[in-house]
Amino acid sequence: KAGVTQTPRYLIKTRGQQVTLSCSPISGHRSVSWYQQTPGQGLQFLFEYFSETQRNKGNFPGRFSGRQFSNSRSEMNVSTLELGDSALYLCASSARTGYGYTFGSGTRLTVV
């Protein structure tokens, strides 16, 4: 059974640009959560989606947005990138909201 797939694995962007990260959950999983990991702040919750609906949102500025498609794949978008957005972005999926989340390997975003 394939795990949670995040693409791309690595990304370098320039300040002011925007970026879109993709997450394909485990087949059959309808719940997807996103986290940001930085050395200073650790792992911080960004969003949670279930059946295309955002169920929870973390304490991040409006530049961070996400969505989930009918096939449960999810994307997150960061606009007007700042140096501080450099981080590992992790996606996790579950068969139903709230339980048994499996994480992907993440997308390493570097903003220069």
- Contacts to other proteins by CB under 8 A: 4, 31, 33, 35, 41-45, 48, 50, 55-56, 58, 90, 92, 94, 97-106
Nearer to other proteins, 14 or 40 (CB): 40
Minimum Å distance from CB 33 to other proteins?
5
Minimum Å distance from CB 15 to other proteins?
25
- Looking at the DSSP bridge assignments, the partners of residue 111 are 13
